[in-house]
A and B are shown apart, each in its own frame.
Chain A
Amino acid sequence: MAIFLTKDSKVIVQGMTGAEGMKHTRRMLAAGTDIVGGVNPRKAGVQIDIDGRTVPVFGSVGEAVDATGADVTVLFVPPPFAKAAVIEAADAEIPLAVVITEGIPVHDAVAFHAYARARATRIIGPNCPGLISPGQSNAGIIPSDITKPGRIGLVSKSGTLTYQLMYELRDIGFSSCVGIGGDPVIGTTHIDALAAFEADPDTDLIVMIGEIGGDAEERAARFIAERVTKPVVGYIAGFTAPEGRTMGHAGAIVSGSSGTARAKKEALEAAGVRVGATPTETAELVFALLADAGDVHRAGQGRC
């Protein structure tokens, strides 16, 4: 098993025929994702050949779902059109919409999250790398060749830190890695992913990566204390970020005394989460926990 995405997931791509959409559709197919169609109203009925596979283009998400039974959509739709595209996906009642697009206006995100919540669609993102269940399926832009299937679950606000940890822990492997995105308003939260990993019989340990801004990590810490029995290892980025400055991700900002990395780390530690000082140390904490459980062990690397 895995969370949110399995080998049985049937995936469509909104914005597949654009440059980014094509590039990543090709990668997703190579990773074994069952891509059953693309959506583009101007190219409905066209069959696109991608590395020997023929992928049909549908005029709407509704048509694609009716024709293929798709249950996941990945969106590469540019910011001005993203809101309408997500609403279209929610209208089609597709269970999972993975919004990769970066730069969506917050008012649009607020609107489509409210719309999707009132229907049956879970949103991951926006401004996220998507999610991968290694060896099964890949929905988004996470590289599939830097890790292998295994029993760690990972949830993160950051794409590159996800890749870094996937790579450092490649010898153990992952059930699923979920990039929830760095925007101030996101669909699937740390808590949603933690709850799903807790319930997933194929996940033994959870890695949670957070960063400055908001209080999602603090709320996740409370959730862990109350509901999570599996070991959780954490990492928080942004201790040196100055107050009031946006650090790359739209949501990564310390406002006054709120949203600091220190407060997040302390909340997680109070909930029994071991928090690494660096990504590498975080990986070592995972190795150590699994070694205690009779699994593997690894020596540390040189540092200051």
Chain B
Amino acid sequence: MDLFEHQARELFERYGVLVPRAEVAGSAPAARAAAERLGGRVVVKAQVKTGGRGKAGGVKLAADPAAAELTARQILGMDIKGHTVHQVMVAEPVEVEREFYVGYTLDRARGRFLAIASAEGGMEIEEVAARRPEAVARIAVDPEEGVTEAKAAEIAAAGGLPAEAAATLHRLWTVLTEQDALLVEVNPLVVTRGGAIVALDGKVTLDDNADFRRTYAYEDTGGAGLEAEAAAKGLNYVKLDGEVGVIGNGAGLVMSTLDVVAGCGARPADFLDIGGGASAEVMADGLSVVLGDPHVRSVLVNVFGGITACDAVAEGIVRALDTVTLTKPLVVRLDGNSAARGRAILTERAHPLVHQVDTMDGAAARAAELAAVAA
């Protein structure tokens, strides 16, 4: 899960990293009140989990509390790359002398974390790395040693950061390890006119796999609508913007199903992996979420029975049909373990909206065709 900037800021503060004074506001009057408490002149920043806020007009300086209210009114509700702004962070402005970039990220290829540091802060680091790779230092962190104070000094020196930044690098490493984060990024890390090292913006991605040992629960206001509903049901669902609903077993097979649907000229409406079991309850939950998407015109269920037997999946579909009112055509492809029995069960149920196709490619073609007819 990605944290909002204000959550990252709070986390940094807890670990002794200097951050600007700031408050979160969900309304324009609240932003005004926050500005009053923060001394009048403030920066109003949209809280969305995506980059490019500045370019989109989501970060603005306000000269006084009245201006902060006006600015917050403009920013709240704004759409930035598909993310609606529900909150702004009102922060005290910082007099910046120099900007840097620092971050810790996972080096998947080597199976360890990597420190990235650059004296060219404030810009997209990927752009800097593409344009001037020599300006971006990448330093591997030994998994057993971590970032010691000596290592932090080495990273600071390699990135062209002042020696004083080493303490911040060391603290950010503690944030990464203690919070089970996959990414901790500060862009920019600034040196103020007064010589302080301050984290002016922060991006933190937490490892969902470590939720079981997390002591602090973050409110995840990122998801909405069907995704939130699916998450509440424990479903692995990603909303897309097409018209063919997709349900399948196994992440790879479902991703592949989306591609095959797209190859047939249709657009997948979602990614939904019901996993190995595919019980009637999971199937019913999955169907109700997918059918809840008003853009869906047909649904494709693609199951390969490996360990899961297709007859059990077919029973699940039949029982799901008793609890969910099917309003769109449902194309089912069952193959693999016990496929013949599974197909026979669906044939016997003879639901008028259920179509069986025995191959994955054929089923995707059929679902695409039915979605086109319904258009």
**Which residues of A pack against B, CB within 8 Å?**
27, 79-80, 103-107, 109-111, 113-115, 141-143, 145-146, 156-164, 167, 182, 184-186, 209, 211-216, 219, 235, 237-242, 244-252, 256-257, 261, 277-281, 301-304
Are the CB atoms of B258 and A241 closer together than 8 Å?
Answer: yes
Given contacts A248-B273, A280-B359, contact A237 B256 (CB under 8 A): yes
Instruction: Determine the distance from Cα of A1 to Cα of B104 in the docked complex, in whole angstroms.
Output: 43
Interface contact B256-A182, CB-CB below 8 Å: no
Is B101 engaged at the interface, CB distance under 8 Å to the other chain?
no
Which one of B248, B251, B307, B369 lies within 8 Å of A249 (CB-CB)?
B251
What 13 new A-B contacts, CB under 8 Å, besides A161-B256, A278-B263? A105-B180, A107-B210, A158-B252, A161-B250, A161-B252, A163-B306, A186-B111, A246-B238, A247-B251, A261-B259, A279-B256, A303-B359, A304-B368
Query: Chain B residue with minimal CB distance to A302?
Result: B362
Most chain B CB neighbours (cut-off 10 Å) among A104, A160, A212, A304: A160
Chain B residues in 8 Å Cβ range of A256: 126
Q: A106-B209, A158-B250 are contacts. A111–B182 as well, Cβ < 8 Å?
A: no
A222–B226 CA distance with the chains assembled, in angstroms: 41
Give the shortest distance, in Å, between A174 (CB) and chain B (any CB).
14
Instruction: Supply 28 A–B pairs (Cβ within 8 Å), ascending by A.
Output: A105-B210, A111-B143, A113-B143, A146-B306, A158-B252, A158-B256, A160-B250, A167-B304, A167-B335, A185-B106, A211-B251, A211-B252, A213-B108, A237-B259, A239-B259, A240-B240, A241-B258, A245-B238, A248-B236, A248-B251, A250-B209, A257-B126, A277-B260, A279-B256, A280-B361, A303-B365, A304-B263, A304-B365
Chain B interface, >50% SS class:
mixed
A54 to chain B, nearest CB (A): 25
Contact with A along B249-265 (1 / 0, CB 8 A): 11111111011111111
- Complex Cα distance, B142 from A115, in Å, reads 11
Is B268 among interface residues, defined by CB-CB distance under 8 A?
A: yes
B355 CB to closest chain A CB (Å) equals 14
Do B238 and A242 touch across chains, with their CB atoms under 8 A apart?
yes
Tell me which of B111, B360, B368 has the highest count of chain A C-beta atoms within 10 A of its own C-beta.
Answer: B111
- Residue of B109, B177, B307, B368 with highest tally of chain A CB at under 10 A: B307
Q: Cβ of B259: which chain A residues have Cβ within 8 Å of it?
A: 237-240, 261, 277-278
Contacts of A109 in B (CB 8 A): 111
Q: How far is the CB of B188 from the nearest CB of chain A, in Å?
A: 19
Which of the residues A160, A219, A246, A279 comes within 8 Å of B109, measured between beta carbons? A219
The CA of A186 and the CA of B110, in the complex, are separated in Å by 9
- Min CB–CB distance A275 → chain B (angstroms): 12
Candidates A105, A145, A245; contact of B337 at CB < 8 Å: A145
A244 to B343, CA, bound (A): 37
A304 with B265: CB separation less than 8 A: yes
Residue of B nearest to A114 (CB): B143
B109 in contact with A215 (CB, 8 Å) = yes
Q: Inside 8 A of B335's CB, which chain A residues have their CB?
A: 164, 167
CB distance from B270 to the nearest CB of A (A): 11
Q: Which residue of B lies closest to A161 (CB)?
A: B252
Contact between B143 and A105, CB atoms less than 8 A apart: no
Contact B255 A212 (CB under 8 A): yes
A184 to B212, CA, bound (A): 19
Nearest B residue to A215 via CB reads B109
Asked whether A110 lies within 8 Å of B113 as measured between CB atoms, the reply is yes
